[in-house]
Amino acid sequence: MAQINFHLECIDCGAHYSPDHVIYTCNRCGGLLSVEYDLSEIPENLDLLWKKRELNVWRYGELLPIKSEDIKISLGEGGTSLNRCVRLSRDLGLRNLFVKNEGENPTGSFKDRGMTVGVTKALEIGMRKVACASTGNTSASLAAYAARAGIECIVLIPSGKVAFGKLTQAIIHGAKVIQIMGNFDEALKIVRRICLSHPIYLLNSLNPFRLEGQKTTAFEIRDQLGGEAPDKIVVPVGNAGNISAIWKGFVELHKLGLIENTPQMIGVQAEGAAPIANSLEKGLCEIQFVDNPETVATAIRIGSPVNWKKAIRAVKESNGLVEKVSDEEILEAQRILARMEGLFVEPASAASIAGLIKIAKRGLIEKDETVICILTGHGLKDPNIILRRFPRPIEVEATEEAVINVIMPKKETIKTSAF
Ligand code: F0G
């Protein structure tokens, strides 16, 4: 595979850095970093090359910041289904509604796209310890990829606020799991400082290499739609890495002439953890963080999203918006998606559907527009929420009669037994 030159670039002051240095933010101004490629080196037949490979993250190797795929750490990430919604579309009066089911990834969330690249990068630059702060999915994913690579993994999580399934994943993969008596934002502050002063590689979405893996969501969507971009992408927002990464993917496709138009990026935050939505609503230029974020969607229970600047740029440049949804709307969207489309997602994931329903009802979507909601994580990650919300299944004696009494109304039972 042809290797394209790339470097790190500050999104604020434009300073350049070598991709071989361990650096997470700009040394000059503290700005976020982005991986930039020398697009003039891209082979002309890129699309043909991609088409010959399987649909997954590594199909797009020319636009990934890895020098050699020989040490690639992969569990088969990406290549997730793009499902056309049938019953939900009808209900909302939309003709081209799809969901990209990221719960199909190896550890059950979109984070695997980033971790396959991030952990490969860690090995490439000689790091043998990786760490992250997490609301759950990042820790589950990093723990799995670190196990696959045979390196040490440390994860900091907010005590009591990580869904059961995610916690069990981090534990079984052998990560050193540290619960802090604080929230995600505090955990991230601590792990950032530790990684700066110790030989431990930080793999939160502040790490620009990780986001490169996540941008492949955009590349796959374009390929799955037959070479076109959709009109709208709806994505749940927490630390704001994913919305920024997906937008970057579409921008690169556009620069390469592989799509005609870029989509509108629509972020969705939970009402109790909506710093970006609130700040945009107030017309602020800077973000106002939320001190004590709270939501049932624990994955996006974040008050100080580190990638806020990239996310706001993505929304503004794409002429998009950020919507807020209540916990009730999130849980109702989770139920609707499971009942109408057969897809079980965790609450944070359902936030994109809740946001979609809200903006569709406000008349912000034309009926022929192609809309894609990103379903970020599998429902089995957080089973407790379901058991708390829905009645326990009925229990009966172990007889045919007892079962028939439950499944057939009384009158019908009598008629049938008369035959
Ligand atoms: N959906 C799910 C299921 C998530 O786990 C996350 C983030 C998001 C959406 C939001 O993505 O942060 O890129 O805006 N989870 C992180 C974690 C924070 O630690 O697992 P984002």
To test the pocket of ligand 1, the residue of 138, 246, 300 to mutate (highest count of ligand atoms within 8 Å of its CB) is: 300
Q: How many CA atoms lie within 13 A of 53 on its CB side?
A: 17
* Cα–Cα distance for residue pair 197/378, rounded to 1 Å: 35
End-to-end CA distance of the chain: 71
Q: What is the pTM of this model?
A: 0.96
Taken as a whole, the chain contains a residue count of 419
Q: What are 291-314's pLDDT values in tens digits?
A: 999 999 999 999 999 999 999 999
pLDDT at 419: 40
Q: How far is the CA of 46 from the centre of ligand 1 (A)?
A: 31
What is the number of the ligand 1 atom nearest to the C-alpha of 205?
13
Q: How far is the CA of 137 from the centre of ligand 1 (A)?
A: 7
User: Can you say how many angstroms the Cα of residue 59 is from the centroid of all Cα atoms in its chain?
Assistant: 19
* Cα–Cα distance for residue pair 54/413, rounded to 1 Å: 53
DSSP track, 232-259: EEEEE-SSSHHHHHHHHHHHHHHHTTS-
pLDDT at 417: 45
Average pLDDT over residues 246-261: 98
Q: Cβ distance 65 to 35 under 8 Å?
A: yes
Sign of CA dihedral 220, 224, 229, 230: negative
State the pairing for strand pair 96-101/129-133.
unpaired
* Cα–Cα distance for residue pair 254/326, rounded to 1 Å: 35
* Cα–Cα distance for residue pair 236/374, rounded to 1 Å: 8
Residue owning tokens 């429902």:
379
CA distances from 100 to 57, 81, 108, 246, 339 (A): 14, 6, 13, 12, 17
* Cα–Cα distance for residue pair 364/404, rounded to 1 Å: 48
Does the structure show a pLDDT above 60 at 416? Answer: no
Structure tokens at 384: 């407790």
Helix (H, G, I), strand (E, B) or coil at 30: coil
The count of other CB atoms within 10 Å of the CB of residue 9 is 19
pLDDT at 2: 65
Q: What are 78-115's pLDDT values in tens digits?
A: 999 999 999 999 999 999 999 999 999 999 999 999 99
The alpha helices in 305-380, defined as continuous H runs, are 308-317, 327-341, 347-361
User: Can you say how many angstroms the Cα of residue 37 is from the centroid of all Cα atoms in its chain?
Assistant: 23
Which residues, in sequence order, are CB contacts of 212 under 8 Å at separation 6+?
35, 63, 64, 65, 114, 117, 245
The alpha helices in 15-136, defined as continuous H runs, are 46-51, 87-92, 111-124
To test the pocket of ligand 1, the residue of 80, 138, 188 to mutate (highest count of ligand atoms within 8 Å of its CB) is: 138
Q: What are 143-202's pLDDT values in tens digits?
A: 999 999 999 999 999 999 999 999 999 999 999 999 999 999 999 999 999 999 999 999
The residues that bridge with 233 in the sheet, in sequence order, are 265, 372
* Residues within a 6 A CB radius of ligand 1: 109, 111, 134-138, 205, 236-242, 299-300, 346, 348-349, 376-377
Q: How far is the CA of 239 from the centre of ligand 1 (A)?
A: 7
Helices then strands, counting H and E runs in the chain, come out as: 16, 13
Our CA angle for 325, 330, 334, nearest 5°, is 150
